[in-house]
Amino acid sequence: MSIHIVALGNEGDAFHQDNRSSGLIRTYLGRSPLVSGDESSLLLNATSTVARPVFTEYQASAFGNVKLVVHDCPVWDIFDSDWYTSRNLIGGADIIVIKYNVNDKFSFHEVKDNYIPVIKRALNSVPVIIAAVGTRQNEELPCTCPLCTSDRGSCVSTTEGIQLAKELGATYLELHSLDDFYIGKYFGGVLEYFMIQALNQKTSEKMKKRKMSNSFHGIRPPQLEQPEKMPVLKAEASHYNADLNNLLFCCQCVDVVFYNPDLKEVAEAHKIVLCAVSHVFMLLFNVKSPADIQDSSIIRTTQDLFAINRDPAFPGASQESPGNPPLRVIVKDALFCSCLSDILRFIYSGAFQWEELEEDIRKKLKDSGDVSNVIEKVKCILKTPGKFNCLRNCKTYQARKPLWFYNTSLKFFLNKPMLADVVFEIQGTTVPAHRAVLVARCEVMAAMFNGNYMEAKSVLIPVYGVSKETFLSFLEYLYTDSCCPAGIFQAMCLLICAEMYQVSRLQHICELFIITQLQSMPSRELASMNLDIVDLLKKAKFHHSDCLSTWLLHFIATNYLIFSQKPEFQDLSVEERSFVEKHRWPSNMYLKQLAEYRKYIHSQKCRCLVM
């Protein structure tokens, strides 16, 4: 058995730095009759401490066969240089001794300002002794001027020492000299009292451990193994940007065609995408009125750049589809029109790659003035009403987060009749939508609207097997690339809808939502919830959600004691039941061992004399 003492602070005279040989700890270890070990052995142990350079280490024997280890650190800079070692030694100390010289106020402040906060954080019912060493040589009151530092050389008063001890709950001692009385009887008596208390506590803890070991000597408690790791669900990366960017090149659901001043076709586009990024196009396509915009620069840009042509005698008008022909827009500015394909590609890509746009325009327009002019017009198109044009430095702006308007601005058109070209009929109500977004985001709808199907020529499309709330959540994902189901039931309904339209990433999002919700439930809530977990498993399998179905099987097996008591547990198939029984937690073996252990414990207990 051993006792570990940590001593902190410098009790030597400030004018005599070489005081290690006559220090408090060294003097006590050399003179105490209860400590065995001559001066040479203490010196050897103190100078051969290579392992712990932060502290000077002393080793001796106390009370005959008790190993005494003392670590002494008088200098804060050395203590602070190896924080890991210092913290471990203080944390493992049985007794802490704090010492300072009453005639050296610097050593007192070093203890108070540096050592004490560290000890407070690490202290855990460890006795602390504060030793004020020396006879005061200057008792006059220090200067109280806030700008004066003359009290640095004055003595430390008894009141200051007692106050420090109260803050720490420590024992305060004044040692006027390091003679036999103050070291052997005064300091030594208090230190040896705490040493005996530490030995008694360690002996008591050792007896308790031995008693516990003896009580379980017959049968040891079974070890509960950890449950199997749940399958990891891999999330699918978003392809939202690529979907809308590809819409420009596939030429599906085009509802606006741009012409140059000579009435030659330049490019095709989609109103919904253009309006999602620009109030200029909102004004041009009558989504908003000038009164709604209230920005003269946007109104002026719209009038200067574009004009709508509805002339039935327009060249090529006879070849247009009679149902709902694309809107014809004349681009008045010839320079802007020559770069329109690059500008549309820039807009469909997220409207943030300014350097690439400027490089593409420079390839077509050799004059730098013309390039700057076109770039300024693009900035005006992307301007927010009522705000100054903040897109002045293209390079600075490109370093920022991409200006992807769609996932926020497209939500403005969700379930709104503005620019809608298709209406879904669900449960007796109608939901307007936009073919361009649906075709870009959903392959099933792209085939439905562009193939030889009834939906390709119809405006009103009925939807069966899905509630209105679920279908709106599905459209919200298509428009914004995000969704937030209200609960597990709605997430499962949305997963079924996503499987119906083959939107795999939305399926994964719903799977992850269901898994996260179930994992966050405590055992008591799992036992009392009305959700049929087996029915959830059947639906996941039926709708080809392999990741979720595998995870649910593991979840049922991990919470076997809860779900095996529910009536729906009997609805598991033979194969599913076999899997759950094989991977159940806790296992049958553990439960049998636990029953035997409890039986043994009850058989070893004595009957109560009172009862």
Averaged in consecutive runs of 10 residues, what is the pLDDT profile of the chain (611 residues)? 87 56 78 62 44 70 84 82 78 88 86 84 82 78 51 76 89 86 84 88 80 62 86 84 88 90 92 91 92 90 92 64 79 94 89 86 90 92 72 45 55 92 94 95 91 84 94 95 91 96 94 93 89 94 93 94 93 94 91 87 58 38
The span from the CA of 457 to the CA of 326, in Å, is 15
CATH number of 251-311+324-382: 3.30.710
Can you give the residue ranges of every domain in the chain? Answer: 2-37+53-137+154-209, 251-311+324-382, 409-510, 521-610
pLDDT at 80: 76
The span from the CA of 342 to the CA of 346, in Å, is 6
CATH number of 2-37+53-137+154-209: 3.40.50.300
Kindly report the length of the chain. 611
Contact criterion met (CB below 8 Å) for 60 and 42:
yes
Within 10 Å of residue 369's Cβ, how many Cβ atoms?
8
Task: Write the CB contacts of 210 (distance below 8 Å, at least 6 apart in sequence).
Answer: none
**In CATH terms, are 2-37+53-137+154-209 and 409-510 the same topology?**
no
**Chain centre distance of CA 607:** 54
Please state, in angstroms and as integers, the Cα–Cα distance from residue 216 to each residue in 213, 593, 599, following that order.
6, 14, 13
**CATH architecture classification, 409-510:** 2-Layer Sandwich (3.30)
Task: Write the CB contacts of 19 (distance below 8 Å, at least 6 apart in sequence).
Answer: 11, 12, 13
pLDDT at 314: 72
| DSSP structural state of residue 52 | -
Contact criterion met (CB below 8 Å) for 72 and 176:
no
User: Nearest 5 degrees, angle CA 157-CA 159-CA 162?
Assistant: 115
Global pTM reads 0.61
